[in-house]
A and B are shown apart, each in its own frame.
Chain A
Amino acid sequence: MSATTEPLLAARDLVKAHGRTDALRGASAELHAGEVLAVTGPSGSGKSTLLHCMAGILRPDGGSVHYEGLRLDTCTEDRLSALRRTDFGVVFQFGQLIPELTLTDNVALPLMLAGTSRREARARAGEWLGRFGVGDRADARPGELSGGQAQRGALARALVTGPRVVFADEPTGALDSLAGEQVMTELVSAARASGAAVLLVTHDARVAAYADREIRLADGRAAVTEGAV
């Protein structure tokens, strides 16, 4: 990816403390349109905190986050919430599906929040579920799914609104290695197909290998930046 164009999302000198723990001490990262960027580092190095700050889920104590000319670190909560709904998609290790809703309704929910009719939203959710190979589980609830199936549902939910950035925090963390590889392959190819950039947080080198570029965090700072893999 070219580093000369303006980045889509840029974090500069982020500082964030959780109580007395300094999770970030001046971390910076840039994400360009359409690229897959891996953030790696040992457990506790501040990867999740960085992702939360860049997605506008957490507000940093210092530094700035720019998304297309918008300062996320000073934005109102409502604006951030709307942005996460429309421009961003999130995938966590587990738990982003509502346990009481069927898989289809879970995926349809972001569309319904944007005002799409239920029928239309469900139809589009069904297409995405089919694309990720879980179309036959459309009426199941998250509790009735395997980990890999649930993560595919989560991918569908993150991508259904056509986001420009997908934030994935250890998306394969709860899966065995085969299911993990399948989910990663599907995430990366779906993101590429729709032109979405991916910020991928992982401690696993095999997962990071799916990325175009990798930055390593150590002690809350971005230590090493590696070029295209």
Chain B
Amino acid sequence: MTDDVKLAWLFTRGSERREWWRFGLTAVGAFCAAGFAAAAAALASLRGGVYRIPYAEGLFDRPGERAGVVLALLLLLIPTLGFLGQCARIGAVHRDRRMAGLRLAGASPLRVRRIAALETGLACLAGAVPAALVVGAAVLGVGAPPALLWAAVASAVLLVPVAGALVSVVALRRVVASPLGGVRRERRTAGRGTALTGVAVVGGAILLGILGVAYAGRLGLDAPLVLFVAFLLVGLGAVWVSGSFARLTGRRLAGRAENPAVLIAAERLRDDPWAAARTHAAVLLLTVVATGYTGVRQALMDDLLAAGSYPPESLDFYVTGLDLTAAAVGIGLLITLAAVAVGAAEGIAARRQGLAGQVAAGVPRRVLSRALLLETALPLAPAVALAAVGGLAIGTFYATAVGGGLTLPWTALPVPFAVYGTCLLAAATAMPLLRRTVRPTELRHD
């Protein structure tokens, strides 16, 4: 085991800058994930009591609002996990090759898995420990907390590296199966019906969420926890859906593309539809939440103002709550955009040698960067459209329930377009990398 740690360290140290990017960004992702999880765990461990907590103007004092904050933190965890997954992919091509080389050199599959898991686990731990310290300091700032709170924080923080290690083991299963796996990628033929399965998973998760919340009290469960699990399942299903969308889009376009950029993007989507699925899943979820939220907010505000029966203090309270929710959605959007940018940058870095060859052969950079942008734009369009319909449905449902009579939350309409547009902008931020890294020097092979 110590040998494996040494090997993992040796590989990380001796590798290119890209590997350090992976380590650093994975740690940042782990920091956010562990921070959100630990804060949620700390607040949740207070159960139903009323406390005086001198943060956020008393928002954490009473159990009702606390549950809302816990839910918000848990929901933020979902795009953060998507970001973490995207970071773990940086340099994955390079690492896959190294792991395959290790297999060729005679390492057992178990050992290769262990080394890979150690690498990711260590990077996650490097981010989780500072997060634990920050949350711990914040808790100590309030006073002496119950032991249960410490236990909750500790387990939330430990969970992140463990999950990271497990995910990297799963991600490496193809390489482990064959020493040649990482060097020469076989074309994967995916089974039919995966899109349907994904939709089924999402539907099931939503149903579970509704039932879970309705019966949470009777079953002695926390409503936020149930909602989180439901959202997590929706997120997993969304990965499925967006991966399938990507493959479907690729397959549809590859056959009839007339434009070289579209052809390259389509074939790439068909070849590896899952490359960006995690990020796109987070975009999908975010679109549902943001569109739904905007609709609900409009309906709620209209109702609050129209009724006129609320005293100003209580109106302020509601508005503050709504604004905090908006802030949470905004943070989620930022994390998701970061993941989109990292994913696009990784798409360039991993293929820089091949891209340099294309540039040398006279393929204009313009065509290549358009192809790279289309890789994000093409599969995201139907996914965001679908998510927008979901979000608008939530908003309409709520507005109709509040207002009596069918009400369309029109303010929510621009939200999906804004999400889509900012995602493309985020992907575009990676394009200067094409000019910087795709150089003739990449053509060297001696």
Binding site for B on A (CB under 8 A): 18, 43, 48, 52, 55, 57-58, 78, 81-86, 88-90, 92-96, 98-102, 105, 109-110, 112-113, 117-118, 141, 143-144, 157-158, 169-170, 173
- Given the interface pairs A52-B440, A112-B263, the reply to whether A90 lies near B258 with Cβ below 8 Å is no
Annotate B353-393 by CB proximity to A: 1 below 8 A, 0 otherwise: 11001111111110100000000000000000000000000
- B361 interface neighbour in A48, A117, A144, A157, Cβ under 8 Å: A157
Asked if A83 and B443 make an inter-chain contact with CB atoms under 8 angstroms apart, the answer reads no
Asked if B354 and A92 make an inter-chain contact with CB atoms under 8 angstroms apart, the answer reads no
Asked if A98 and B354 make an inter-chain contact with CB atoms under 8 angstroms apart, the answer reads yes
Asked if B364 and A101 make an inter-chain contact with CB atoms under 8 angstroms apart, the answer reads no
Contacts of B364 in A (CB 8 A): 78, 81-82, 85, 113
Q: Is B222 an interface residue (CB 8 A)?
A: no
- Given the interface pairs A43-B446, A58-B440, A94-B445, the reply to whether A105 lies near B267 with Cβ below 8 Å is yes
A141 to B, closest residue via Cβ? B187
- Given the interface pairs A57-B440, A78-B364, the reply to whether A96 lies near B258 with Cβ below 8 Å is no
- B264 interface neighbour in A48, A57, A86, A100, Cβ under 8 Å: A100
How far does the alpha carbon of A96 sit from the alpha carbon of B256 in the complex, in Å?
A: 23
- Given the interface pairs A100-B271, A112-B260, the reply to whether A95 lies near B354 with Cβ below 8 Å is yes
How far does the alpha carbon of A170 sit from the alpha carbon of B364 in the complex, in Å?
A: 24
What is the CB-to-nearest-CB distance from B329 to chain A, in angstroms, rounded to a whole number? 36
How far does the alpha carbon of A157 sit from the alpha carbon of B367 in the complex, in Å?
A: 17
Q: Is B218 an interface residue (CB 8 A)?
A: no
What is the CB-to-nearest-CB distance from B404 to chain A, in angstroms, rounded to a whole number? 54
Asked if A143 and B362 make an inter-chain contact with CB atoms under 8 angstroms apart, the answer reads no
Asked if B260 and A109 make an inter-chain contact with CB atoms under 8 angstroms apart, the answer reads yes
Contacts of A98 in B (CB 8 A): 264, 267, 354, 358
B183 to A, closest residue via Cβ? A143
Q: Is B152 an interface residue (CB 8 A)?
A: no
How far does the alpha carbon of A101 sit from the alpha carbon of B262 in the complex, in Å?
A: 12
Binding site for A on B (CB under 8 A): 184-187, 256-260, 263-264, 267-268, 270-271, 353-354, 357-365, 367, 440-441, 443-446
How far does the alpha carbon of A85 sit from the alpha carbon of B354 in the complex, in Å?
A: 16
What is the CB-to-nearest-CB distance from A23 to chain B, in angstroms, rounded to a whole number? 11
Asked if A90 and B361 make an inter-chain contact with CB atoms under 8 angstroms apart, the answer reads yes
Contacts of B258 in A (CB 8 A): 112, 117-118
How far does the alpha carbon of A82 sit from the alpha carbon of B364 in the complex, in Å?
A: 8
Majority secondary structure, B binding face: helix
- Given the interface pairs A52-B443, A92-B443, the reply to whether A84 lies near B260 with Cβ below 8 Å is no
A-B contact count (CB 8 A): 103
- Given the interface pairs A58-B440, A100-B268, A101-B267, the reply to whether A118 lies near B257 with Cβ below 8 Å is yes
Contacts of A141 in B (CB 8 A): 187, 271
Asked if B360 and A55 make an inter-chain contact with CB atoms under 8 angstroms apart, the answer reads yes
6 smallest beta-carbon distances between A and B, as pairs: A84-B362, A85-B362, A100-B267, A96-B357, A100-B271, A100-B268
What is the CB-to-nearest-CB distance from B154 to chain A, in angstroms, rounded to a whole number? 45
How far does the alpha carbon of A174 sit from the alpha carbon of B191 in the complex, in Å?
A: 35
Contacts of A143 in B (CB 8 A): 184-187
How far does the alpha carbon of A82 sit from the alpha carbon of B363 in the complex, in Å?
A: 8
Contacts of B365 in A (CB 8 A): 81
How far does the alpha carbon of A101 sit from the alpha carbon of B363 in the complex, in Å?
A: 14
What is the CB-to-nearest-CB distance from B266 to chain A, in angstroms, rounded to a whole number? 9
What is the CB-to-nearest-CB distance from A154 to chain B, in angstroms, rounded to a whole number? 9
Asked if B360 and A57 make an inter-chain contact with CB atoms under 8 angstroms apart, the answer reads yes
How far does the alpha carbon of A105 sit from the alpha carbon of B270 in the complex, in Å?
A: 14
Asked if A83 and B358 make an inter-chain contact with CB atoms under 8 angstroms apart, the answer reads no
Contacts of B257 in A (CB 8 A): 118
A88 to B, closest residue via Cβ? B362
How far does the alpha carbon of A157 sit from the alpha carbon of B445 in the complex, in Å?
A: 20
B250 to A, closest residue via Cβ? A100
How far does the alpha carbon of A43 sit from the alpha carbon of B444 in the complex, in Å?
A: 12
Asked if B187 and A82 make an inter-chain contact with CB atoms under 8 angstroms apart, the answer reads no
A78 to B, closest residue via Cβ? B364
22 contacts between A and B (CB under 8 A): A78-B364, A81-B363, A82-B364, A84-B360, A84-B362, A85-B364, A94-B445, A98-B264, A98-B358, A99-B185, A101-B263, A105-B263, A109-B263, A110-B362, A110-B363, A112-B258, A112-B259, A117-B258, A118-B258, A143-B184, A144-B186, A170-B446
How far does the alpha carbon of A86 sit from the alpha carbon of B176 in the complex, in Å?
A: 44
How far does the alpha carbon of A118 sit from the alpha carbon of B360 in the complex, in Å?
A: 22
- Given the interface pairs A95-B353, A141-B187, the reply to whether A81 lies near B362 with Cβ below 8 Å is yes
What is the CB-to-nearest-CB distance from B444 to chain A, in angstroms, rounded to a whole number? 7
What is the CB-to-nearest-CB distance from A112 to chain B, in angstroms, rounded to a whole number? 5
B357 to A, closest residue via Cβ? A96
